């Protein structure tokens, strides 16, 4: 069911998927359709956020998420500032709260934050007046990634309700898997997860997913396969014997794809480790929607920025 005209988000911040209800998720996905259309025009700019200031506060490396937010802000005519740990006073030892209070003193309307600590955006939401958007906090949540993933699934499959989705890989370090599970369960999809037992967080099954140790069982008949990156920078070593062994057991190959539904789509949030969690032929092959996820990411972030600035369904500036 599509939300009625006039419906708006009931939240000031986007800290995660968990606090949203199913209607709010649908509102964001429906609003994204309009922004995707704007992104396909020869002139991709609308005056919606003219005069608003947005700070992109990235304390961890990022390529897609950061450039996607920046393009989304530019297409909405907002003024944006990029702020990262390297080259800032954070490298001189300034605390997160002090840095945020100083940024806040410059009166931004929104702060988009990525941080290695789970809960950092929630802390900022308590001490700052600005709207806070979580662009990934530790291994906790990455709400805009889950929204762009859901948008892509709905675009390709026509629905989320009843879809069988397998999420495979390094589940332990992934904020993407948590946000995806919250969202997919809210909209009625069935989720199976698989990864080496050393990379499955204890208690994951309590989120309402089936945990399958063998990747083959997880892939059986699924409509969507989402592969996750092996996050070697967060491992102290020892989670699995070698990258070759990992690929042999959990790499998505053309052979393994045959186990899924014949119209399966293959997703990955990026960055890819080719030959580790996914074979190059699969990443570049006919089932892959990986670059479409990136395209949709800009439209999803435009929708989020619009809705959190008080935007209302059916009143989008043309
Ligand atoms: C992910 C992240 O940073 O959480 N990437 C992304 O935002 N597209 C996943 C990852 O780093 O593997």
Yes or no: say if 249 and 215 are a contact pair by the CB < 8 Å rule.
yes
CA angle 118, 57, 119 (to 5 degrees): 15
User: What pTM was computed for the model?
Assistant: 0.95
Pocket test for ligand 1, best of 136, 144, 226, 228 (most atoms within 8 A of CB): 136
Based on its alpha-carbon atoms, the radius of gyration of the chain, rounded to whole angstroms, reads 19
Cα of 191 vs centre of ligand 1, distance in Å, is 20
Pocket test for ligand 1, best of 114, 118, 142 (most atoms within 8 A of CB): 142
Helix (H) or strand (E) segment spanning residue 226: strand 224-227
Look at residue 150 and tell me whether its pLDDT is greater than 80: yes
Query: For residue range 208-265, what is the model confidence (pLDDT) as tens digits?
Result: 999 999 999 999 999 999 999 999 888 877 788 899 999 999 999 999 999 999 999 9
Cα of 27 vs centre of ligand 1, distance in Å, is 24
Please give the pLDDT value at position 237.
Answer: 73
Q: Which atom of ligand 1 is nearest to the CA of 228?
A: 12
Closest residue by Cα to residue 66 from 16, 4, 136: 136
* Contacts with 2 (C-beta within 8 Å, 6 or more apart), sequence order: 26, 30
Query: For residue range 164-179, what is the model confidence (pLDDT) as tens digits?
Result: 999 999 999 999 999 9
Q: Which atom of ligand 1 is nearest to the CA of 176?
A: 4
Cα of 198 vs centre of ligand 1, distance in Å, is 20
DSSP helix/strand/coil, 288 = strand
Closest residue by Cα to residue 71 from 294, 310, 318: 294
């Amino acid at each position: 069911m599509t939300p009625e005209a006039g419906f708006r988000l009931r939240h000031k911040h986007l800290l995660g998927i968990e606090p949203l209800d199913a209607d709010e998720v649908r509102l964001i996905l429906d609003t994204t359709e309009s922004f995707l259309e704007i992104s396909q025009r020869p002139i991709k700019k609308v005056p919606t956020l003219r005069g608003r200031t947005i700070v992109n506060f990235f304390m961890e490396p990022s390529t897609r998420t950061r450039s996607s937010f920046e393009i989304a802000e530019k297409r909405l005519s907002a003024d944006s500032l990029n702020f990262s740990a390297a080259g800032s006073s954070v490298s001189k030892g300034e605390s997160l709260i002090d840095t945020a209070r100083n940024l806040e003193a410059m009166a931004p309307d929104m702060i988009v934050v990525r941080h290695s600590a789970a809960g950092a955006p929630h802390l900022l939401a308590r001490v700052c007046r600005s709207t806070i958007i979580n662009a990934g906090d530790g291994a906790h949540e990455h709400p805009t990634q889950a929204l762009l993933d859901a948008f892509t699934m709905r675009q390709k499959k026509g629905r989320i309700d009843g879809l069988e989705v397998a999420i495979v890989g390094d589940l332990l370090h992934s904020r993407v898997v948590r946000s995806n599970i919250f969202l997919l369960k809210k909209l009625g999809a069935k989720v199976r997860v698989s990864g080496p037992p050393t990379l499955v967080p204890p208690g994951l099954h309590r989120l309402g997913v089936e945990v399958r140790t063998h990747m083959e069982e997880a892939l059986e008949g699924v409509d969507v396969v989402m592969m996750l990156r092996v996050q070697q920078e967060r491992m102290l070593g020892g989670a699995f014997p070698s990258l070759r062994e990992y690929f042999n057991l959990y790499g998505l190959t053309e052979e393994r794809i045959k186990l899924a539904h014949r119209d399966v789509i293959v997703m990955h949030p990026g960055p890819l480790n080719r030959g580790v969690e996914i074979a190059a032929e699969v990443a570049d092959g006919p089932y892959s929607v990986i670059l479409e996820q990136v395209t949709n990411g800009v439209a999803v972030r435009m929708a989020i920025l619009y809705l959190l600035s008080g935007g209302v369904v059916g009143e989008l500036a043309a």
